[in-house]
Amino acid sequence: MGNFEEVLEKAYQESYLPFIEVLQSHPQIKVSLHYSGVLYDWLEKTHPDLLERVAKMVVLGQIEPLTGAYYEPILPFIPDSDKIGQIESFSLRLQERFGRRPRGMWLAERVWEPDLPKPLAQAGIDYTFIDDIHFKAAGLREEELLGYYLTEEEGYLLKLFPISRKLRYLIPFAPKVQEVIDYLRSLATPSGERLIVLGDDGEKFGLWPETYEWVYQNGWLNDFFTALEENRDWIRMWSSEEWMRENESLGRVYLPTSAYQEMAEWALPAKSIPLYEELITRFKNGGELEWFEGFLRGGFHRNFLVKYPEANLMHKRMLRVSEKIARLSDEHGGLLMDEAKRLLYQAQCNCAYWHGIFGGLYLPHLRRAVYNRLIEAELITDELSHTKAHWLDKEIADFDRDGNPEILIDSPVINLYLAPHRGGSLFELDCRKRGLNLLDVLTRREEGYHREIPSLKEEETQLETKSIHERIKTKEENLEECLIFDRYHRASLIDHFLPPQTTLREFSQLEYEELGDFISEPYAHTMNREGNSFSVVLVRTGKVKIQGVDLPLLLKKRLKLVEGEALVEIGYELLNLSSMPIEALFGFEFNLSPQIRGGEGPGESKDIDLLKMEDKESGLRVYFRLEQPGSLWQFPIFTVSQSEKGFERILQANNLFFHWHISFRPNELWKTNLTIEIANAYSF
Amino acid sequence: MGNFEEVLEKAYQESYLPFIEVLQSHPQIKVSLHYSGVLYDWLEKTHPDLLERVAKMVVLGQIEPLTGAYYEPILPFIPDSDKIGQIESFSLRLQERFGRRPRGMWLAERVWEPDLPKPLAQAGIDYTFIDDIHFKAAGLREEELLGYYLTEEEGYLLKLFPISRKLRYLIPFAPKVQEVIDYLRSLATPSGERLIVLGDDGEKFGLWPETYEWVYQNGWLNDFFTALEENRDWIRMWSSEEWMRENESLGRVYLPTSAYQEMAEWALPAKSIPLYEELITRFKNGGELEWFEGFLRGGFHRNFLVKYPEANLMHKRMLRVSEKIARLSDEHGGLLMDEAKRLLYQAQCNCAYWHGIFGGLYLPHLRRAVYNRLIEAELITDELSHTKAHWLDKEIADFDRDGNPEILIDSPVINLYLAPHRGGSLFELDCRKRGLNLLDVLTRREEGYHREIPSLKEEETQLETKSIHERIKTKEENLEECLIFDRYHRASLIDHFLPPQTTLREFSQLEYEELGDFISEPYAHTMNREGNSFSVVLVRTGKVKIQGVDLPLLLKKRLKLVEGEALVEIGYELLNLSSMPIEALFGFEFNLSPQIRGGEGPGESKDIDLLKMEDKESGLRVYFRLEQPGSLWQFPIFTVSQSEKGFERILQANNLFFHWHISFRPNELWKTNLTIEIANAYSF
């Protein structure tokens, strides 16, 4: 969800289309096929001929369509009601096209938790496919995985086919097709009661680096299918349902929480990754990995939400919208609610909620798509809940589930989310009618793989095997310079006190001294409604270190919203509570979504009282107006992350630091005001 | 649940009472105290003075009572509605006694799954305690576990306190109390922001072998509490709620499915246990276990239900009763339904559903208690569902969730459960009015620990440390002779064809040749209702091997029940479909619950037409009447299992093998009839 049109088209041309073409020329080869709902919708719009082709192959029994949760959520990340809604809506879609409702599903990212059988069975699912490593984690051995198993939750039954990792690595990467055939031969028995399952990404066939040439131009896939046909006296291709009709299960089993091994590793805290890698390497080098791998388990997939607080904020935002929809569903049905659900389901697409070998959370356009759908879905529910055109709602709740309350202000124009306990900062500012969160940024964090960068050459480093998990190349020059890691969450309205001589370079490179304690520390908060406006006051009595002495200072910031206006008025008051003069650079920091640019661009501006920023894609403009002219430092925040192509630098935020050189005596008060106005906030 | 009165009384005298006495003499020592509901009920009945004493200590703030699921179920084993019902009913109970509803709970066996926060929060739970190993499995390190964490499911929040394994091993086993103090000293900081939590079984203090002498007579516990008091300038005792009031959480976390390390090991298939033990030993010997243990994970606790099919049958029986109660709860409230729920909750008590260092599933009196509560609870629901006094119900459903249908026949007097696909066998026969399953037996299986037995001496083998997990001694002589492992599930109505010269010894020692294929193979089934009676016919055309040749044979068995009667009529017909004569011992096997004894006792009886068996405890009698006098082999089935005291032999079933020497020509039919009558079936 949110992927670029050209990426989808390239995948279609180099993978989805040629795969089906080769498959169609081998009518004896059977596959179970799953298109994610995102891709399915796109194909329906862009290449409906491919779906018609598939439909014919379904009729001929060559393709068994699989359903799934519509927009590929990681199922344990979303509420049970949404799990069921996502699966049922996609099954219905496939039933319309293929004439029957699929009973098997593809589990996004093969992320498993043992309570899944209940909602899956409730959504009409009979079977799915899971990595062999999940079974090994339950103590089963490779040779016990040649068939399918039964599991249950509260008595709800589900059939599980183990996916062979050996096949996932051999196909299509074995230098010779015969190697795959030889491996199959090693498993075959005269009675033929053994089943081996390959389940993998279609993109491996053409879209992954160099695979187009390998799989199609050099004919690997055609050769492989031919070899399977030539050996049909002992290799039989089955659809899942044929196999289950003719074969009993291998038994019952319960699988622990599990994802494929690589994902489990990525879910570990960065500092634990080297230790886990050492463990795996040790067993691999000792030739014992196969024996012990079921016991050598990495992290837990849900911890992407801990490792990346931005993923958590997006996730809890999603839960908030899901709750609003669930609350309304009982009273309101109809098309508007259907649309709200569709948008919510789209926003649950897994990619932006985690990060591994693919960009995921690091890709701003994926996050933007998630916020866009969430904000639009929520607007539908809020408009159904309110009869007046103008309103302001507030909620104080532990939004991000960190044990502390956040302040959530909703209006039909703007949403403002504040974290009093984290420096009284602003972490979400939505322009609702445009479906845009202006503060959708990413903080820079150390990743397990960053330690590899300094030792890599800039040209491609080609490793022995072609598997994507073992290829890494640097993509850009001087990436090391971007390896700066933030000390705090890059939200907005973050209040700094710096030594007067601090430079933009020092500030942006994190080579400055923070004199205050107003960044991550708690602010007290009060709220007031006055007629058609609403104010939040955040207050902290903190300290500013001047010449080695901590001096007390009171900082009060006040945000005011007026019903129906796309405007936030912000007032700052600083009171020197000490008996000493305080001299410092004082300022507040904003981190705007990377697509929002403007002003003079990176650099320093003095004596400014107006800054214009613009989101080119939507045409939305943001005006910052300073009552008291000040200085502005503007600089980009880049992350370094890995993708299937190598390491890359990505713009994650545009940092604005409005500041003043202040010098005030004991008991002196310093004040300033700022307004943030969003223009074109209403037009779609 | 089901434990012997004298065991509870011993635990009270040697552990529960003296612990509170020592605690009361140290008013500065604070503990969070959890009694399981089973124990709580018993104390209330037997030693209410102890509870009054505890209540006073609660008022003084020395004891913080913890709630839990009432009858200590492993939470993921039971439906969400029962999780909530169990917790709420126990919390209410504690609220009545202690004046406030506890917000913290003890999690039975610390078995965790990541979806628990939702039902726990719905039941009013705010926090619980989890082993540190669970956190390490998420990639956290020992030094990050000195406080508490937050987790959530669908936004429902739960606070988790890590339990220190180091403290679990040091307390009360450290040779000198000072060792514990030294360890605490190594963690202390000037600012005192670190919390360390010990959470463990109360039975470690007095009931575990030799601990009564150690903990009380030698004064370990008193010395320990004294040492804590003497060091109160730097050690502060907190209740959980005090700590949470004054301290923020250490952050958010998600924990994978997990149990304590030992339990995870026991949940592995027996054949995988040596491999896992080797892995752990390797890291322990290398001194690296602390670093890597979070990654070195054993099996998944739910697989006790796979490892022990009897646990699965009990579990699915429990689910069936739970469903019946849930279905009725909407229409029927009131005291009868409350009683049905109470019985169901008692039947969910974890002990009988698994096996580790304690006897658990291997203890017949625990299984008996579970079946007793289930049968009684179900009788309440069935009587509410039926208006007539006499009725017969049938259901064909995949009761055990193995993918094949079972036949379940219910009446107010008798329940009969048949598995057509497993030799047309009978696996449950309940005398409902007495709450007794006559076929509650255990099949003999190889356990991971059995390999240790031959090398053990008969006298006690004292290991270095006193931890229960490292002590094993043989308890009885000649245990090796009992290490026989069954080839099939020890159900009843199992049909055997044996060579005519087979002896009882050979049969009981599994040293015989099975000529037929009627043991684990599928039977076809039909069912008929005729007026007030009901018949099930099970048919299989199988093979009997005579002089090396497989000869076809048709076996038909018919079970008939009449409404209101405690009687099962069974008819057997064998038809020789081959062109050769068949001569063999033919017979059918029953395995009765170990408490049901009678007849001549172990040995051979010839020409019998009546066998009387009796359940001494209830006075219930069972009569087997043979139309055609036959021979009977009777022998006991013993298992060898480990308990906290060592290895022990336990009677699990009384095997009855009724048989005839048959010799019949091609197309000849051989028939016989049997009735099973239960006397005293009605009196309570």
Cα distance between residue A313 and residue A307, in whole Å: 12
Interchain contact, B150 vs A300, CB within 8 Å: no
Contact B510, B589 (CB under 8 A): no
Indicate whether B675 pLDDT > 70. Answer: yes
- Closest-CA distance of chain A to residue B641, Å: 21
β-bridge pairing B620-643 and B669-679: antiparallel
B556 Cβ neighbours under 8 A, 6+ residues apart: B537, B538, B539, B572, B573, B574, B575
Which residues of chain B have a CB within 8 Å of the CB of A288?
none
Residue B458 pLDDT: 57
Residue A556 pairs with which residues in a beta bridge? A539, A573
pLDDT tens digits along B13-43: 999 999 999 999 999 999 999 999 999 999 9
State mean pLDDT over B144-165. Answer: 97
Residue A58 pLDDT: 97
- Closest-CA distance of chain A to residue B238, Å: 20
State mean pLDDT over A340-357. Answer: 97
- Closest-CA distance of chain A to residue B257, Å: 6
Place of tokens 């000529």: B515
Residue of B nearest to A293 (CA): B296
Interchain contact, A296 vs B295, CB within 8 Å: yes
Residue A604 pLDDT: 96
Testing the interface with B: which of A295, A321, A324, A421 to mutate, by most B Cβ within 10 A?
Answer: A295
Select from B147, B243, B232 the least CA-distant residue to B181: B232
Interchain contact, A292 vs B279, CB within 8 Å: yes
Annotated active-site residue in B52, B179, B182, B201:
B201
Whether the CB of A288 is below 8 Å from some CB of chain B: the reply is no
Q: How many CA atoms lie within 13 A of A261 on its CB side?
A: 23
Of the candidates A155, A251, A297, the beta carbon closest to that of B295 is on A297
Lowest mean pLDDT, pick from A290-304, A429-443, A454-468, A566-580: A454-468
- Closest-CA distance of chain A to residue B315, Å: 10
DSSP string, A396-462: EE-TTSSSS-EEEEE-SSEEEEEETTTTTEEEEEEEGGGTEETT--------GGGGGGGGS-SS---
Annotated active-site residue in A88, A109, A142, A430:
A109
pLDDT tens digits along B409-439: 999 999 999 999 999 999 999 999 899 999 9
- Which B residues in the span 445-504 are in contact with A, Cβ-Cβ below 8 Å? none
Residue of B nearest to A289 (CA): B279
Cα distance between residue B526 and residue B557, in whole Å: 11
Model confidence at B465, in pLDDT bands (50, 70, 90)? Answer: very low
Contact B340, B628 (CB under 8 A): no
Interchain contact, B254 vs A152, CB within 8 Å: no
Q: How high does pLDDT run on average in chain A?
A: 94
Residue B491 pLDDT: 98
Residue of A nearest to B141 (CA): A272
Which residues of chain A have a CB within 8 Å of the CB of B323?
155
- Closest-CA distance of chain B to residue A275, Å: 8
Residue B681 pLDDT: 62
Model confidence at B683, in pLDDT bands (50, 70, 90)? Answer: low
- Which A residues in the span 121-150 are in contact with B, Cβ-Cβ below 8 Å? 137-141, 150
Interchain contact, A299 vs B268, CB within 8 Å: no
Whether the CB of A612 is below 8 Å from some CB of chain B: the reply is no
pLDDT tens digits along B88-131: 999 999 999 999 999 999 999 999 999 999 999 999 999 999 99
A413 Cβ neighbours under 8 A, 6+ residues apart: A431, A432, A433, A564, A565, A566, A678, A681, A682
- Closest-CA distance of chain B to residue A348, Å: 13
State mean pLDDT over A518-546. Answer: 96
Of the candidates A155, A268, A305, the beta carbon closest to that of B139 is on A268
Residue A457 pLDDT: 63
Cα distance between residue A107 and residue A124, in whole Å: 14
Interchain contact, B137 vs A300, CB within 8 Å: yes
Residue A332 pLDDT: 75
pLDDT tens digits along B323-338: 999 999 877 778 999 9
Q: Is A18 helix (H, G, I), strand (E, B) or coil?
A: helix
- Closest-CA distance of chain B to residue A154, Å: 6
pLDDT tens digits along A135-172: 999 999 999 999 999 999 999 999 999 999 999 999 99
Residue B140 pLDDT: 96
Interchain contact, B297 vs A254, CB within 8 Å: no
Interchain contact, A300 vs B269, CB within 8 Å: no
Residue A462 pLDDT: 45
Model confidence at A458, in pLDDT bands (50, 70, 90)? Answer: low
**Is B573 noted as a catalytic residue in this protein?**
no
In A577-619, the DSSP E strands lie at 582-592, 596-598, 603-615
Interchain contact, B401 vs A275, CB within 8 Å: no
A140 Cβ neighbours under 8 A, 6+ residues apart: A253, A294, B269
- Which B residues in the span 356-415 are in contact with A, Cβ-Cβ below 8 Å? 398, 401-404
Lowest mean pLDDT, pick from A381-395, A487-501, B41-55, B70-84: A381-395
Whether the CB of A243 is below 8 Å from some CB of chain B: the reply is no
Size of interface A-B (CB pairs under 8 A): 149
Q: Confirm whether pTM is higher than 0.90.
A: yes
State mean pLDDT over B165-185. Answer: 96
Residues in chain A: 684
Indicate whether B249 pLDDT > 80. Answer: yes
Structure tokens, B76: 């993921």
pLDDT tens digits along A314-335: 999 999 999 999 999 877 778 9
- Which B residues in the span 63-122 are in contact with A, Cβ-Cβ below 8 Å? 76, 79-80, 113-115
Whether the CB of A155 is below 8 Å from some CB of chain B: the reply is yes
Cα distance between residue B378 and residue B410, in whole Å: 10
Residue B457 pLDDT: 63
DSSP string, B455-516: GS-SS----SS--GGG---B-STTGGGG----SS---BSEEEEE-TT--HHHHHTT-S---B
Of the candidates B267, B275, B299, the beta carbon closest to that of A291 is on B275
Residue A684 pLDDT: 45
pLDDT tens digits along B52-80: 999 999 999 999 999 999 999 999 999 99
β-bridge pairing B524-530 and B533-546: antiparallel
Residue B253 pLDDT: 98
Interchain contact, A319 vs B279, CB within 8 Å: no
Testing the interface with A: which of B141, B252, B489 to mutate, by most A Cβ within 10 A?
Answer: B252
Select from B378, B373, B310 the least CA-distant residue to B346: B373
Cα distance between residue A296 and residue A289, in whole Å: 9
Of the candidates A76, A113, A295, the beta carbon closest to that of B297 is on A295
Whether the CB of A305 is below 8 Å from some CB of chain B: the reply is yes
Model confidence at B159, in pLDDT bands (50, 70, 90)? Answer: very high
A449 Cβ neighbours under 8 A, 6+ residues apart: A273, A472, A642, A647
Which residues of chain B have a CB within 8 Å of the CB of A115?
76, 113, 115
State mean pLDDT over B530-542. Answer: 95
Annotated active-site residue in A52, A201, A511, A600:
A201
Interchain contact, A303 vs B253, CB within 8 Å: yes
Identify the structural domains of chain B with CATH numbers, from first to last.
5-165+236-259 (3.20.110.20), 413-452+486-684 (2.70.98.10)
Residue A465 pLDDT: 42
Indicate whether A464 pLDDT > 50. Answer: no
- Closest-CA distance of chain B to residue A132, Å: 15
pLDDT tens digits along A26-53: 999 999 999 999 999 999 999 999 999 9
Residue of B nearest to A275 (CA): B292
Q: How high does pLDDT run on average in chain B?
A: 94
Interchain contact, B257 vs A113, CB within 8 Å: yes
Residue A329 pLDDT: 83
Interchain contact, A401 vs B252, CB within 8 Å: yes
Model confidence at B479, in pLDDT bands (50, 70, 90)? Answer: confident
A509 Cβ neighbours under 8 A, 6+ residues apart: A484
Whether the CB of B623 is below 8 Å from some CB of chain A: the reply is no
**Is B109 noted as a catalytic residue in this protein?**
yes
Residue A455 pLDDT: 76
Residue A473 pLDDT: 55
Which residues of chain A have a CB within 8 Å of the CB of B76?
114-115
